Structure formats: structure tokens, C-alpha cells
Structure 1
Amino acid sequence: MRTAVRAEGQLKGVGTVNRPETTDEPQIHRALACLRDMTSLPLAFGGPVNAARQVRFTQFAGVTTGALRGVAVDCGLGLGGKVVARRRPIVVNDYVASSGISHQYDHVITAEGLRAMVAVPVIVGRTVRAVLYCTTRTTLPLGDRVVQAALETARDLEQNLAVRDRAARGADPLGRREPGGARTAPAAEQEVVREAYAELRVLAQGLDDDALRQRLEQVCAKLCGAGAAPSGPRSAPYLSARELDVLACVALGWTNTQVAADLGVTTETVKSYLRNAARKLHVRSRLEAVVAARRHGLLP
């Protein structure tokens, strides 16, 4: 009989640094923080699904005893494993009393004092990449509002991971030259440039000092030039500063709610900027907007 729960230390034997699922963890964490803020529940947690189709609990938003940290849930077992196997959300009003799931993990759930819970898969392409949980320490039903918030957060995360995957496929990890002679940055370095670019744009828009804001915008332009070669200035559509701000944040996997909070606008305003940018770039989705903006040299 295989062991259902594995401590984090037992999983670190081979290749943990290069496990592809670890690259999803920052975005999973941001999604969980957003989910907890939306629902006001005491704990949201989850983590990536590895090649063995195990959910690893690595990300937490809220108060936790640490009992869940590093636990790996096998496919088909418990709540998360069943979500991975069935590829759909599942809600339980009392985890330890539920007859619809197996109970190999009751001891860690009990140690956290968790009861009502929803678990939602994050599916990119045909692969379950992560599972998000939102939970309470009471047996009161979670309600439609909480379940809907979990679903929306998972859908946003799916789009954000798809954006990052698509962008990563366009970068040469060895930093070799493209046919036109432009040198592409290694993927890890390029991601750092993109994060710095987005943070500087957010900071610049919050400044009252016009001279300092212009200097930061000039630095942003230099960082933008460090990415993939643009298709040519004449072919690049005009995007407003705010549209670029929003796209720069979306490119890092931020949800609309997170972008709105950082830019000091409403979620509807963020959606409006995204629609405008997509129209100007002649695309239909946030994924395509980010890719098109990078192709035109508007984003690093």
C-alpha cells in the first residue's frame, strides 16, 4: 500500500530546483491571496500538481498551524486528489465527515481544524496544473458566493499561466540570436526584466513629481528594449500609458483585482483598458494582447 502523505523533506531528493511546477508557485500564491481577500475566509491554500499528478501544499494565505505544509496528495485520494482525477470543483461541508472522499489525510486536516472546504482545479490546456482550496473551521456551508469566487480565481490563474507559457515559448532559453540578428535574453533574466518593468510602471504612475516620473518612464523604455526585437516602430500601434501599465501587470500573471489594487483603479476600469488594448492590437484575449504587445516591442 503506497504512502498517501509525504512530508516536504521527503520530496526534495531529486530535481527540486528544476521542477517545472515550482515556476507556477508565485502566481498560485497571488491567486490564493486574492481568493482569501474576496471571500474573507480564514484560509486559502493549495499548490502545483507535479508530474506524478500529486497536489503539493506549498502556498498559503491566512492563519495556519503549518500541518499542511509540504503535504503531497495523490491523484484520486482525499478532496484535492479527487479534484485532479475528475478535473472539476468539489465542495464538502465537513471534510472529516464527508462520505464522498477518501480519508487518508484526515490527520492533517484535523490538525488545522478545517471543516467546510471547496477545492478547484486549475487546468491549462489539458493539464491540471494546480489546485486551489478555500476553507473554514466551521461546518457551515460555504455558499454560492464563495464557490463562485474560487471558480473565478482559478479561471484567472489559468489565463495567467497560459500567458506566461506562451511568452516563455517565444524566448530562447540559451540566449541565442534570432534570424534577424537580435539576441534574446535567457528566460530567467527576461522574467526579471519584465517584473522590474511592471513595478517601475506602477511606481511611475503614482508619482506627483513630473520630472521623476519621466525619468522612470525613460528607464522603462530601456527595459522594454531589452526584450525581444520589435517588428518595427511604424507597425506598432499606439497604446496609452495606462493600457501599457495594465498589460505589463497582466503579463506577470496578476489578476484583474490585483492590477486594480496596485494601479488604484476599479476592476471594471482594468477590464476596459484590456479591451481597448486588445482592440488596438487586433486580438481577442489577454493572452494574445500580451504576446502581440511583445511582438511589437511595446513590452519587454
Structure 2
Amino acid sequence: MPVDDAQLLGAVSDLRRDTGLPVGFAGIAGTSPRMRLTAFLGNRGTALNGLSVRAGCGLGGKALALTRPVVANDYHRATTISHDYDEPVRDEGIHSVVAIPVVVRRRVRAVLYGGLRDEATLSDRTITAALHAARDLEQTLAVEDEIEQRLAEARPLAEHHEEAAPRERLREVYAELRALSGQLDDSVLRDRLDAVCENLTGAVSPALRLAPRELDTVSLVALGLTNAEIAHRLGLTAETVKSYLRDAMRKLDATSRLQAVTHARRAGLLP
């Protein structure tokens, strides 16, 4: 799933907030050996806007090619990078800069930059904080990629859900999608995923409703997972899982885990 402009700008905003750096910008990397800078915060002018950066060239191009962070303190005198983009960097008044690739599944999806205008060096603390912003974006993109993969699996399974093997795999994919939904910060994508999950159950409008985490828990119980395994999958404590399951069982009028799953399927809450 490609990085969108809102995600990129959000990551730049997080980088500036966490590092205290006055300027941050970023570019989306595609399949070509170039990326274009499209997201800016704290910039004074338009010198960097839309700049096309080639892999291996300049600071960001080096980060893109090496798939690792690159730092240039006193950018214009740095001997470890090429100086293809000195003019726009000088026009923006940047003295020191760090470039951090966002790598998902061994492919660079974007590069985040943070810059200082003062004649000072970037501290280890600042660079570490910038790295965290990139890692957060990597995690978001990895989850979204996983969702796209699971959705691609679910579509043909849903068409043949009456067959035993596809039905069991459909239930596995459904549970995986429910678990991934809980990891999303993007409300639009989460709503879309929840709608897909509801469609997979085949229910038009079930009269009974479970809270999202209650449904997540029951869907994993249906796969035979223990409370400890469910807690690990959802990033919760075992006690929290017990609480969600207890509430779900009460709503489903169930006295056992198996009965909870059976009632949930009859109500159209699970495939």
C-alpha cells in the first residue's frame, strides 16, 4: 500500500515535535531510483518543494540507496555525500540535516529529513528521536500492507465460503483482520476494515452487537486460541482478554467459550 501525503506529513510533524528541529520534510520513494520531496513543515521558502532526488545523490539519495540513516553536520562542507542539491538546501538556510529511510519489507517507501539552521551539530538524542518517527511510520505501513494482503485473500474465500476448507481459512483471515484493525490509528482505514469484516460474516444487520475488542476476542476464541495467545495477538493482558470475553459471553447469553462462538455465528457476527 503506497504512502499517502497525509501519512507523510503526519510523520514529519511527529519528527519535528519529538526532535525540536525547526524544519522537517520528506519524500515518497517509488519503484524508480528517484523520489520527490512533497511534505514540508517549518520551511521558509519553496526551494525544496518538488525536488527530485536520485538514489545515491545528496544526503537523502544516499539514505535511499543505503537504506540506512545518514547525517551531515555542516552539510555544505560534508565530504561523505555528493553535493547535487546544495543550492536548494542553502536557499532554505539549512546547516545540519539527518535523512532517515522508511523501510518496509526491505523496500524504502519514503525518506524523512530533519534540519537545523543554526551552526550546530545534531545530537544523538535528536537523531534517535527522528529515528522513532520513521519507525512509527514503518509500523503503520507494515500493518496496512498486511491488511491489504489479508483482504486479497478474503475476497475469493468469501465467494466460496460454503466449502469446508475455504470456510475455515475465511474464519482465520477474518480473525487476523479483526486483530489488525485494533492496531490502526487511521480511523478511516479502520472503519473500512471493520466494514469488510462485517461483510465477510454474511449478515445484513445483526441485531446483537459486540464492542470491537469483544468481537476481536471471540473471533480468536473461534480459532482455538487460549487467553494468553489472544492477549499476545491483540497486545493486551490476559486479564483484559478475560474481561472482554466475559462481557461478550454475557451479551451472547453463553455459558462457555464454545457456546459464545456458536451464538456469535448464529447472530451473524462471525463467518
Common topology (TM > 0.5): yes
Aligned to 1:213: none
Shift of 1:178: 3.3
- Larger Cα-atom Rg: 2
Question: Is 1:224 the counterpart of 2:198 in the alignment?
Answer: no
* TM value normalised by structure 1: 0.57
Shift of 1:63: 3.1
Q: Secondary structure at 2:136's aligned position in 1?
A: helix
Aligned to 1:283: 233
> Where does structure 1 lack aligned partners over 5 or more consecutive residues?
1-19, 183-190, 199-219, 245-276, 287-295
Determine the C-alpha separation between the residues in 2 that align with 1:279 and 1:238.
18
Determine the C-alpha separation between the residues in 2 that align with 1:110 and 1:99.
16
Q: Contact 2:24–2:115 (CA<8 Å) still a contact in 1?
A: yes
2:145 to 165, 176, 181: 165
Considering only aligned residues, what root-mean-square deviation do their CA atoms show, in Å?
A: 4.2
Moved more, 151-160 or 61-70: 61-70
Q: Secondary structure at 1:155's aligned position in 2?
A: helix
Determine the C-alpha separation between the residues in 1 that align with 2:39 and 2:57.
20
Determine the C-alpha separation between the residues in 2 that align with 1:197 and 1:46.
22
1:114 to 91, 94, 105: 94
1:123 to 86, 89, 103: 103
Q: Secondary structure at 2:21's aligned position in 1?
A: coil
Determine the C-alpha separation between the residues in 1 that align with 2:130 and 2:24.
10
Question: Is 1:27 the counterpart of 2:7 in the alignment?
Answer: yes
Determine the C-alpha separation between the residues in 2 that align with 1:278 and 1:76.
47
Shift of 1:123: 0.7
Q: Contact 1:278–1:285 (CA<8 Å) still a contact in 2?
A: no
Paired-residue identity, %:
37
Matched residue count: 204
Moved more, 122-131 or 277-286: 277-286
Aligned to 2:174: none
Q: Contact 1:55–1:80 (CA<8 Å) still a contact in 2?
A: no
Moved more, 130-139 or 46-55: 46-55
Determine the C-alpha separation between the residues in 1 that align with 2:201 and 2:111.
37
Cα distance change of structure 1 residues 179 and 127 upon mapping to structure 2, 3 Å threshold: same
2:23 to 10, 34, 43: 43
Aligned to 1:56: 36
After superposition, give the CA deviation of every residue in 1:5-60 in whole Å (9 maximum; x if it has no partner): xxxxxxxxxxxxxxx74x43322211111111112211111111121122310111
Shift of 1:109: 0.5
> Where does structure 2 lack aligned partners over 5 or more consecutive residues?
168-180, 218-226, 237-263
Aligned to 1:73: 53
Determine the C-alpha separation between the residues in 2 that align with 1:88 and 1:197.
29
Shift of 1:106: 0.5
Written as runs of structure 1 = structure 2, the 5 A alignment for 1:174-213 is 178-180=159-161, 195-196=187-188
Aligned to 1:100: 80
Determine the C-alpha separation between the residues in 1 that align with 2:195 and 2:61.
44
Written as runs of structure 1 = structure 2, the 5 A alignment for 1:229-248 is 229-230=200-201, 239=213
Shift of 1:179: 2.3
Cα distance change of structure 1 residues 285 and 155 upon mapping to structure 2, 3 Å threshold: farther
* TM value normalised by structure 2: 0.62
Segments of 4+ moved more than 3 angstroms: 175-178, 194-198, 222-228, 230-233, 277-282
1:139 to 119, 122, 135: 119
Aligned to 1:270: none
Aligned to 2:255: none
Determine the C-alpha separation between the residues in 2 that align with 1:223 and 1:284.
16
Q: Secondary structure at 1:58's aligned position in 2?
A: strand
